Structure 1
Amino acid sequence: MAAALQIHAGASTPVHLIDREQVWMPLSGEFEVVMADRTERVMAGQAVILPANAVRRVAAVGGPAQALVAMAAGGRARIPGGEESVPLPWAE
C-alpha cells in the first residue's frame, strides 16, 4: 500500500509506532524523523526506512512537506506503552 501524506508547516505526528516497516519518500519540503536516539532530515529525492515497531515522530521542517509512504497492507499504529492499536485507513 502507498499513500501521499502531507504534514503542515510546523506540525508533526504524535510519538507512535507502526507494526509494519514503512518507506517515506518525500515529494516536497523537508521532514525531520526522530527514531530512538537518532534524528534524520530527509527531503525530496531521498528516502528513509522506518522499521516495524520503532518508536518515531515525523515533523515538517521549514514549511509544509509531502511524502509518498509505502508499507504492507493492514498496518496498525499505537502510542508507546499503550495496548490499543488503531488501523491506518490508507493502508487497509
Structure 2
Amino acid sequence: MLATKIAQSDTRRTETPNALMTTLASPTQGGTEALSLWRVRMHPGQSGPVHTFDVEQVWHVLEGEATVVIDGESIELSVGDTVVMSAGTPRQIRTDSGADFVVVGLASGQASTPDGGQAVSPPWIV
C-alpha cells in the first residue's frame, strides 16, 4: 500500500489532567509502522509532569505560548516555534495562556518519570 488515509472520524482522543491529545496517525490506525503524529491542546494554567521519553520528539506550536523546561533550562515557545527534544532528556511543558502543538515521534516511544516508575507507551502514541 502506497498511502493510507486516516479520516478525522478515525482520530483518537485521550484526555489527561494535563492536556488533550488527539492521535492523528499511529501504527494502530494503520497509517505508519514507525512514527506517530498527534496534537496536544493545553488549556491556560496546565502543566505536564516532569518526564523523559526514550525517543526523540519534535513539538511545533500551532497556537498560544508555552514554556518547555528541558533538563532544568526554560525554553519559551510561541506560534510557529519548533523544539526538538532528545531522547532521555527530562522535560516538562507548561502554559499560562494555553497552547496547541503538533508532535511527531517514534511510535515505539516510552515515557517514564523521575520517581523510577515503570516506562509506559502512552495511548496517544501507539
Runs of 4 or more above 6 Å deviation: none
Higher strand share: 1
- In the TM superposition, 1:47-86 aligns within 5 A as 47-61=82-96, 63-86=97-120
Pair 1:5-2:40 in alignment: yes
- Residue in structure 1 matched with residue 51 of structure 2 by the alignment: 16
Q: Give structure 2 stretches of 5+ with no counterpart.
A: 1-35
CA contact (8 A) 1:74 1:88 kept: no
- Structure 1 CA distance, aligned partners of 2:39 and 2:78? 14
TM-score normalised to the size of structure 2? 0.68
TM-score normalised to the size of structure 1? 0.92
User: Highest Rg: 1 or 2?
Assistant: 2
- Residue in structure 2 matched with residue 32 of structure 1 by the alignment: 67
Q: Give structure 1 stretches of 5+ with no counterpart.
A: none
CA contact (8 A) 2:52 2:90 kept: yes
Secondary structure, aligned partner of 2:48: coil
- Structure 1 CA distance, aligned partners of 2:95 and 2:41? 9
Query: Percent identity, aligned pairs only?
Result: 33
Query: Which of these residues, 23, 26, 43, is aligned with residue 78 of structure 2?
Result: 43
- Residue in structure 2 matched with residue 88 of structure 1 by the alignment: 122
- Structure 1 CA distance, aligned partners of 2:79 and 2:54? 25
